[in-house]
């Protein structure tokens, strides 16, 4: 089973700053099977990025994804107030879906 | 509008059973694979189970294998999760999610693009 490790656990930033979130896999992951989700308190997760770098419908272009193999990154170029939330990476492989532990982006 | 609505959650004693439902609307349910994903209080997301569009292929997380059964009724646009032998650690919000799988440039893309709002399951005496 592939384990996804997200870092940091918490990111304290101010609106307007750049956020860089990391997702590291215990073994190589197909980029086309790597997705990122945003979750706000009391809400369901929302798809942000699929295929490691493609934005989902309606997602602002300040969100971008990159990476391959075992290292993937979600970048928020300039944080808006509505971006403070928890972010999860997720992969599919060997008949299993797995999620990372999440990164909380909080207001500094 | 594409929508998933879960129901059936509640309070159940350890060792008990519960059946969750997920009603789909706004898309051709029979064409999509589906997942159940859960989230324990204050914790992260945990994938629970997958079912193919026809129901012929099913996967489970090790944590629920042998206790949970996923199924679907394409005529009723509904997804189900039968949960038996429930434990305290099964306490969570349970989400159903639509799986998008498509082929582009020889690569399959696989992700969950639509989620329900969730239904809460509490296992406690």
pLDDT digits (tens, 9 = 90+) for A62-96: 999 999 999 999 999 999 999 999 999 999 988 78
Which residue in A35, A92, A99 is closest to B44 by CB distance?
A: A99
Nearest CA-CA distance, residue A25 and chain B, Å: 16
Q: Report d(CA B23, CA B29) in Å as an integer.
A: 9
Residue A23's DSSP bridge partners are A6, A72
Question: Considering chain B, what percentage of its residues have pLDDT values greater than 70?
Answer: 100
Using pLDDT thresholds of 50, 70 and 90, give the confidence band for residue B81: very high
A residues 16..75 contacting B (CB < 8 A): 30, 32-33, 35, 37, 39, 43-47, 50-51, 54, 56
- The token duo for A20 is 């860089």
- Vertex B56: Cα angle to B100 and B51 (nearest 5): 40
Measured at the CA of B124, the angle between CA B121 and CA B125, to 5 degrees, comes to 145
Nearest residue on chain B to A95, alpha-carbon basis:
B59
Is residue B9 within 8 Å of B1, Cβ to Cβ? no
The residue behind tokens 């020889």 is: B106
């Amino acid at each position: 089973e592939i384990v996804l490790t997200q870092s940091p656990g918490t990111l304290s930033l101010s609106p307007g700053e750049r956020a860089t979130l990391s997702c590291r896999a215990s073994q190589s992951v197909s980029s086309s099977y790597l997705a990122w989700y945003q979750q706000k308190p009391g809400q369901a997760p929302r798809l942000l990025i699929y295929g490691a770098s493609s934005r989902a419908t309606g997602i602002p272009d300040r969100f971008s994804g990159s990476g391959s193999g075992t290292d993937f990154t979600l970048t928020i170029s300039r944080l808006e107030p509505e971006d403070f939330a928890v972010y999860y990476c997720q992969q599919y492989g060997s008949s299993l879906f797995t999620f990372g532990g999440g990164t909380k982006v909080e207001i500094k | 509008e594409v929508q998933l609505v879960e129901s059936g959650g509640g309070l159940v004693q350890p060792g008990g059973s519960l059946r969750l439902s997920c009603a789909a609307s706004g898309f051709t349910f029979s064409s999509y694979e589906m997942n159940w994903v859960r989230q324990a209080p204050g914790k992260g997301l945990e994938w629970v189970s997958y079912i193919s569009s026809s129901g012929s292929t099913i996967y489970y997380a090790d944590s629920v294998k042998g206790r949970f059964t996923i199924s679907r009724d394409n005529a009723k646009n509904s997804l189900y999760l039968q949960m038996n032998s429930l434990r305290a650690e099964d306490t969570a919000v349970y989400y159903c999610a639509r799986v998008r799988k498509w082929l582009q440039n020889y690569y399959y893309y696989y992700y969950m693009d639509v989620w329900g709002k969730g239904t809460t399951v509490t296992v406690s005496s």
